Amino acid sequence: MERRIIIEAGGITSEAILAESETAKAIWDSLPIESTCNIWGDEVYFSIPVSLSLDETAKEIVDMGDLGYWPTGKALCIFFGPTPISEGGEIRPASAVNIVGKIIGNPKTFKKVSSGIKIQVKKGQIIEE
């Protein structure tokens, strides 16, 4: 089963596929979410009503377009490029995140989002396999 979510912020709309993990399921179950964007380098992050710890998907270096859950800040993160602590071409979160999904299409569209903008995440399609 593939769970898709729709993310809307600052006039952009993007779709993402959630992973098959307990953290991703908890996020799905908490939708819809409305929050306020924070920007840290090429990362958008925002508070969500989910409180979990690191799991087996946790990574300290992520890929372009990854969605991460950051337990320290109880936040969902969208990674679209280097952060202030990245070295070389890597994408490095502030601390480890659980990988909970992947943006469909070009994640760099999130460069248009600025701090303080409202962001909404809602359930999209469920595709049965």
Q: Is position 128 within any domain?
A: no
Q: Is residue 24 part of a domain?
A: yes
Instruction: Write down the pLDDT at residue 90.
Output: 97
What is the per-residue pLDDT for 126? 86
Which pLDDT belongs to residue 1?
A: 82
How far is the C-alpha of 97 from the C-alpha of 103, rounded, in Å? 16
Helix (H/G/I), strand (E/B), else coil: 116: coil
**Does residue 129 belong to any structural domain of this protein?**
no
Residue 56 pLDDT: 95
Please, what is the end-to-end C-alpha distance for the chain in angstroms? 5
How deeply is 31 buried, as exposed, middle or buried, from its count of CB atoms within 10 A (0-12, 13-18, 19+)? middle
**What's the domain count of the chain?**
1
Structural domain contains residue 98: yes
pLDDT per residue over 58-108, tens digit each? 999 999 999 999 999 999 999 999 999 999 989 999 999 999 999 999 999
Q: Note down the domain range covering 58.
A: 2-123
Task: Tell me the whole-structure pTM to 2 decimals.
Answer: 0.96
The answer for 88, left when phi > 0, alpha when psi is -120 to 50, beta otherwise, is: left
Residue 34 within a domain? yes
pLDDT in tens, 17-72: 999 999 999 999 999 999 999 999 999 999 999 999 999 999 999 999 999 999 99
CATH number for 113? 2.40.100.20
